Amino acid sequence: MAITPRFDLEGKTVLVTGASRGIGRACALACAGSGADVIVGVRGLADGAALAAEIEGLGRRAVAVELDLADLATVRGAVGAAVAAFGRIDVLVNNVGVGPENLAENVTEEDFDFTVGINLKGTFFTTQAVGRLMIARRSGRIVNISSQAGTVTLKGEAIYCMTKAAINHLTRCLAAEWAQYGIAVNSVAPTFIWTDGTRPSLSDPTFHAAVLGHIPLGRIGDPIDVAGTVVFLASPAASLITGANILVDGGWSVA
């Protein structure tokens, strides 16, 4: 029996959705840096090609595939292209998520359908497509990027919070169903993270101070904070973990 846990991803092939920026980009690079070949799932292939080239510069294989969770045909196409390129998908990182902000009384049907369509429908059917391959191979890891919003309440984010709570429970349901096939399913729930999307809000001193007031560890997260947890859950070191939701929130949920 090994006495030292393995935290690397040597020999693994990882598909990261929404990999062009922010948390998805950090996850793709962290997986490559840990030894994995990476399928870069993006809506714009130009951005994906640049990231794939960066990953290849790290000595790993990479391919960019068009993947838009609002268009399930691209999901099926992306999974097929990934298998054609690498023969299998060992790890799926479901990173894509949207959250248009609006007070509950002002949410429109369009807002609702868009958020639920991407965060739940798109995530589920991406997972199903990859899960079928993993079931056939009787092996796999799935890591869903959830949010602290699935555990705590955020004003103006009722629909987003609802979808992330659903992702947490979907994680548990799939973990229970697919354990028999050797598939582990977990989720990672970040707090506010410095990304291109959050930077305008977090750069406002008042908003920044309000956010920090909820985080006992006293700082906004960086994408690598999330990526490190993803790599751990995908690695051999986490081989007995499934159905877990790991909060990367600096203590927000327990404060």
Residue 251 to residue 204: CA distance in whole angstroms:
22
| pLDDT band per the 50, 70, 90 thresholds, residue 167 | very high
How do beta strands 37-42 and 13-17 pair? parallel
CA angle (216, 217, 221) in 5-degree steps: 115
Residue 237 to residue 8: CA distance in whole angstroms:
9
Q: Span 154-166, mean pLDDT? A: 96
Neighbour count for residue 179 (Cβ, 10 Å): 13
Q: Would you say the pTM of this structure is higher than 0.95?
A: yes
> Residue 230 CA to chain centroid, in angstroms?
8
pLDDT of residue 34: 98
**DSSP per-residue letters across 68-84:** -TT-HHHHHHHHHHHHH
Indicate which residues carry an active-site annotation.
Answer: 160
Quote the mean pLDDT of the chain: 96
Residue 99 to residue 121: CA distance in whole angstroms:
14
pLDDT digits (tens, 9 = 90+) for 119-145: 999 999 999 999 999 999 999 999 999
pLDDT digits (tens, 9 = 90+) for 203-233: 999 999 999 999 999 999 999 999 999 999 9
pLDDT of residue 56: 97
pLDDT digits (tens, 9 = 90+) for 33-59: 999 999 999 998 988 999 999 999 999
User: Could you tell me which CATH class the domain 13-195+224-247 is placed in?
Assistant: alpha beta
Going by C-beta distance under 8 Å and a sequence separation of 6 or more, which residues neighbour residue 63?
A: 39, 40, 52, 81, 82, 85, 86
DSSP secondary structure code for residue 180 in this structure: G
Q: Span 58-78, mean pLDDT? A: 97
Residue 11 falls in which region: left (phi positive, over 0), alpha (psi -120 to 50) or beta = left
217-250 exposure pattern, b = at least 16 Cβ within 10 A, e = fewer? eeebbebebbbbbbbbbbbebbeeebbbbbbbbb
